[in-house]
Structure 1
Amino acid sequence: MPRKKETSQFGALLAGVALGAGATTAVVYWLNKSPQTTPAQVRRNCALDRALRRARTTGAALLEPGQRYIIFSDLHKGRRTPADEFRFCEATYLAALEHYYKMGYTLVVLGDAEELWEEPDISAVVQAYANVLESEARFHPQRYVRVDGNHDSAWRIETLVKQHLDPIYPGIRIRREFLVQAPLESGKTGEILMVHGHQGTLDSDIFDFLPPQLLPLYRDFQNITNLGHTSPSRDACLRGLQDTFLYRWASAQKDLILVAGHTHRPVWTSLTHLDSLLNKLRYLQGHRQGHQVDDRLQKIQALLSEIEERERKYPPCNDTIKTRSCYFNTGCCIFEDGDITGIEIDGGTEALGEKEGKAAEMRLVKWGKASGSEPEQARQFVRLELESQTLEEIFIRLFTRDLREIKPGGPHE
């Protein structure tokens, strides 16, 4: 009898394990059945929903004719050590700031301005780049917006802001997001939400309940153990995933586009710059009319060279088809060749008499050293417009239908 009882208990145990495994499998299948219901996506959706609610509660800035924004992110300023990647881009960034200051732009620094994870000595970082901070300070207070990121989340601690930033930017306010409303010719109003892009990751969501004073301890834990790091800047596959998470949230919103940083990879109308280049190449290869043979071949060769460089620097991984032009990314200011990328938002101009007004538009731009062997050219920096569209054109796609562009050879962003 005892043996039969043991057999019965063992059978019940197996049945319980099988039932539990089956239930777990069913839950996991259900959570992952739709991309929008995966736990990772849900975390990001909740975090971005909170960001949008905060931004609307705080109040949006109205994009008016004559008003301009330049958005840069991910400078990661350190202490000028060999690990400090901003050193190579400092001169380019300063040249760009000079241009935008003279042209009346509002400067938006969209997170990770300083590298305060690997460089916990904030005073040393601030002193190392005092010249850059002073150049930015010219925009403050009327034309300066600072949004924190995951690598400079220490600026959420007011005492640190007052100690290190207040002397340079008196009364500065560190934001977690920034919202701009753009009146359109159609009579509608489009929203442009700017966030760093780390919303919903371990650093900003799961551990967001921790007091700000404990954040340095958590950063130390990450640096020592290499656990909990969510850095798409160094991981091509994580970069593609993060772009997809941000896109999915933005694609579910109404009359809204999302501008982020964090991944260090430029994205325009939900397409990476690599995908835009591939689409341009496909167009040139398929449209022979209207192009001189030599001119067409020269353009194709230039595109092929740039595509090869982009694939080497940013190999595609975990990229998905994205059909709505709702997601944009600034790229970063720490490219190894000294280039920086950013996004301009131009409110356009009003019509004056018989002179037509200029429509509001967005532009993806790159700044870098001028080409040429002369010493004078080596000291010059140029602005290159990579992509541009009017805000009316961008938002009309969201108001009417999905934009579907599939590049040859597989899925794209």
Structure 2
Amino acid sequence: MFSSKKRLNKAYKESPIVEFDDSSKFVLFSDCHRGDNSFADDFANNRNIYFHALKHYYAEGFTYCELGDGDELWENLTFKSIFEAHKNVFLLLKAFHQNKRLHLLYGNHDMVYKDQKYVEKHLSTYFEPITGKDEELFKNLTYHEGLVLKHKKTQQRLFLTHGHQADWWNYTFWKWSRFMVRVLWKPLNVMGIADPTSPAKNYKELIKVERRIKKWIINNSNLITIVGHTHRPRFPEPGDIAFFNDGSCVHPRSITGIEIENGEISLIKWQIATTDDGTLKIVRVLLEGPQKLIDYKTD
């Protein structure tokens, strides 16, 4: 049985490389857990915030990287029900894809996307009631386990992955976890009872996962590594272990993510704020950074 070290090594070695420079702009979100808009759909509460943020990044020329668990395919049987619940989001993601500004990674909750045949069958097209026929959605889309961003000038590398490689149960036995969620935890989740096997809901498991990833980073020359999975945002200072976490899109009333722009990295949050005249608006809040990527370079 593979260790977390071997699983992370494999994901890193098999990751496609995307070159970038200081003019490149990336936004990283993960753990959207898009569902079917039922009471168990954790994404539904923040979908307007997420959609507004994504429209901003599309207009500003950002490339969108989703670090796993974008779709909740443990609680939901099919992608179709998720697509119909959040069609506006997927059509916006389609626009990113058509502009070659979309990179999607799979996590434990959407591990089925590891199968290219599954992706081609379910995500290539969708039925459009207006035209009465199938329309193109994600043509020639491939999900990866990891992604490496490589700076053209400095050769600095950033490793992007979901992070479930450091979570033995949710990586190796994800099918069993999926079964348990569908038959047991989804009904209980509606009543407010959390799944104890999830590191996002279990603090002890969260610490173990983070410790394993940090150890791997140290053994790889403090390689900048950006993950999700635990839902806990992380933004280290230069000189510390280069372990970043973009958080999630299912925080209560907010979403968190990471921006890379002008050769710098930032941790951001989008939330609903109240203005002086009593109206509500969605705003971007800078939580950490911007910090120069080169400041984390060790070799």
The alignment's TM-score, normalised by the length of structure 2, stands at: 0.85
Letter matched to residue 139 of structure 1: F
Match of 1:305 in 2: none
Aligned length: 277
Match of 2:230 in 1: 263
Match of 1:385 in 2: 286
Contact map agreement 1:232 1:263 (CA 8 A) in 2 = yes
Say whether 1:147 aligns with 2:100.
no
Match of 1:101 in 2: 58
Q: Partners in 2 of 1:270 and 1:243 — Cα distance?
A: 16
C-alpha offsets along residues 336-372 of structure 1, whole Å, 9 cap, x if unaligned? 1x210000111x2xxxxxxxxxxx1001011111232
Which region of structure 1 is more displaced relative to structure 2, 92-101 or 365-374? 365-374
C-alpha offsets along residues 207-259 of structure 1, whole Å, 9 cap, x if unaligned? 5xxxxxxx757622565477x97411111221122111111111211262100
Q: CA deviation at 1:159?
A: 3.2
**Among residues 254, 260, 272, which one is paired with 1:339 in the alignment?**
254
Contact map agreement 1:331 1:342 (CA 8 A) in 2 = yes
Say whether 1:328 aligns with 2:244.
yes
SS at match of 2:231: coil
Q: Partners in 2 of 1:242 and 1:200 — Cα distance?
A: 5
Q: CA deviation at 1:122?
A: 2.7
Q: CA deviation at 1:157?
A: 2.5
The residue correspondences of 1:8-407 to structure 2 (distance < 5 A) are: 43-55=3-15, 58=16, 60-141=17-98, 142-167=100-125, 168-183=137-152, 188-202=154-168, 205-207=171-173, 219-221=178-180, 223-224=182-183, 230-254=197-221, 256-269=223-236, 324-336=240-252, 338-346=253-261, 348=262, 360-372=263-275, 374=277, 377-378=279-280, 380-388=281-289, 389-395=291-297, 398-399=298-299
Letter matched to residue 324 of structure 1: D
Q: Partners in 1 of 2:222 and 2:204 — Cα distance?
A: 29
Q: CA RMSD in A?
A: 2.4
Letter matched to residue 165 of structure 1: L
Q: Partners in 2 of 1:88 and 1:339 — Cα distance?
A: 9
C-alpha offsets along residues 296-340 of structure 1, whole Å, 9 cap, x if unaligned? xxxxxxxxxxxxxxxxxxxxxxxxxxx73310000000111x210
Change (3 A) 1:340 1:222: closer
Q: CA deviation at 1:202?
A: 3.5
Change (3 A) 1:247 1:217: closer
Q: Partners in 2 of 1:335 and 1:221 — Cα distance?
A: 23
Q: Partners in 2 of 1:237 and 1:217 — Cα distance?
A: 21
Q: Identical aligned pairs, as a percentage?
A: 28
Q: Partners in 2 of 1:124 and 1:343 — Cα distance?
A: 28
C-alpha offsets along residues 115-153 of structure 1, whole Å, 9 cap, x if unaligned? 111112332122111111111211114100000000011
Change (3 A) 1:216 1:232: closer
Bigger RCO (CA 8 Å, 6+ sep): 2
Change (3 A) 1:374 1:162: farther
Q: Partners in 2 of 1:221 and 1:235 — Cα distance?
A: 16
Runs of 4+ residues deviating >4 angstroms: 215-218, 221-226
C-alpha offsets along residues 56-109 of structure 1, whole Å, 9 cap, x if unaligned? xx4x11112311110000000111111111111101101111110111000001
Letter matched to residue 56 of structure 2: H
Contact map agreement 1:191 1:255 (CA 8 A) in 2 = no
Gaps of 5+ in 1: 1-38, 208-214, 272-322, 349-359, 400-413
SS at match of 1:232: coil
Q: Partners in 2 of 1:390 and 1:74 — Cα distance?
A: 26
SS at match of 1:234: coil
Higher share of residues assigned strand: 2
Higher share of residues assigned helix: 1
Gaps of 5+ in 2: 126-136, 186-194
Contact map agreement 1:343 1:362 (CA 8 A) in 2 = yes
Letter matched to residue 342 of structure 1: G
SS at match of 1:119: coil
